[in-house]
Amino acid sequence: MRYHSRLGFTLVELLVVIAVIGVLIGLLLPAVQKVREAANRLKCQNNLKQLGLALHNYHGDYNCFPPGMVSSSIDVADASATGFTFLLPYIEQDNIYRAYHFDDAWSLKNNFDAVAMEIKIFYCPSNRASGSIDLGPIATQWSITLPPFAAACDYAFCRGANAGLSRDWTKIPGQLRGVFNIRNAGRGSSSGVRIDDISDGTSNTFAMGDATGGSHLYLARDLANPAIPAINPFTGQAAMLDQSWSAASVSDTSHPWYGSIFAVTAQFGMSPNPADEPMNRRPATPTVASGDASGYNLSGNDYISGFRSLHVNGCNFLFCDGSVHFITGDIESRVYRALSTYAGGEVIAADAF
């Protein structure tokens, strides 16, 4: 009887093949991740371009950009609407816009359904495709009624180079103001900034930019010790900075772990200490209204979050001319502040960003 030997791998050969495959995967994975991030960054830029088109269409109807936030009371912690709310009809979200009751604060029952609606264009693809903020713990602590959830957002309007959170935006020095601010009049009014007001040039002025929320990479910093994250007492965990497109409010000093629809490039903006707010700061700065009497953060106790993203070494920014640019994190602080204001009178070189 004749026996035929079977062809096959020995154990050593199999291990060598597995090792080679492992090395190839190790070499390919970073390349795949790099391609994926490049694609996500382009998708993020497209989101901002669509929002830029919406801003200009709004301007065409009302001869001004929308206010960043509308507050009819002195307490800016409970405003009625945000700039994102006013843009809803211009991004094909008419149903949510019609469901929103502008005569009521965002937090009242009439607006529960609207503020909970997640809108795809408001999420950066490098960060998430959906997300909401659970308001139940806050409602329980304050013994008030709030929407169960507020849909989140990964973009923020540029507030300039000063974190003063007074409803009277005129208290902020003109050279520090961003295009979007707190106003006491909403849709249909001419209270927003007009293109003609942007004396620094629309191609040199931020409209909005990345503001990653709900990510463990951007924890809210402890205001008493900026090097460490704040602890959210409701969870016992480090607080992840987040914000909502619909929640027209800012945090107070007893709840300093939320962002807002605003972002800044500096907390004060003037000498001797501008208190620069660098891009992609970690732990991240929360948005907190302290009741500063000056209106322009003279006490240094008001805070507004900075721009931040999961893109490599920078953020995407929408400029007021509708263009979108990726700005690297190593941009000079002076230039960064200048780009965030619309009437600062700074001269910015063409290759400065």
209-237 pLDDT, tens digit each: 999 999 999 999 999 999 999 998 888 99
**pLDDT, mean of residues 292-300:** 93
The per-residue pLDDT for 20 is: 75
SS3 of 63-94: the string is CCCCCCEECCCCCCCCCCEEHHHHHHHHHCCH
Phi, psi dihedrals of residue 19, rounded to the nearest 5°: -65, -40
Give the model's pLDDT for residue 99: 95
Q: In the prediction, which pLDDT does 3 show?
A: 54
Q: Is the pLDDT of residue 25 over 80?
A: no
Q: Give yes or no for residue 264 having a pLDDT over 90.
A: yes
Mean pLDDT taken over the chain: 89
Instruction: Report the pLDDT value the prediction gives residue 78, as an integer from 0 to 100.
Output: 65
Q: Is the pLDDT of residue 32 over 70?
A: no
Distance separating alpha carbons of residues 63 and 243, to the nearest angstrom:
28
The more confident residue out of 158 and 104 is 158
**Mean pLDDT value of segment 69-84:** 77
Q: Which residue has the higher pLDDT, 161 or 13?
A: 161
Give percent above pLDDT 90 in the chain. Answer: 67
Domain boundaries, the chain: 36-340
What pTM was computed for the model?
Answer: 0.89
Question: 288-292: long-range contacts at Cβ-Cβ below 8 A with a sequence spacing of 24 or more?
Answer: 288/223, 288/250, 288/251, 288/252, 288/253, 288/256, 289/76, 289/77, 289/165, 289/250, 289/251, 289/252, 289/253, 290/165, 290/252, 290/253, 292/164, 292/165, 292/166
Residues 231-239: contacts with CB under 8 Å, at least 24 apart: 232/257, 234/137, 234/138, 234/141, 239/286
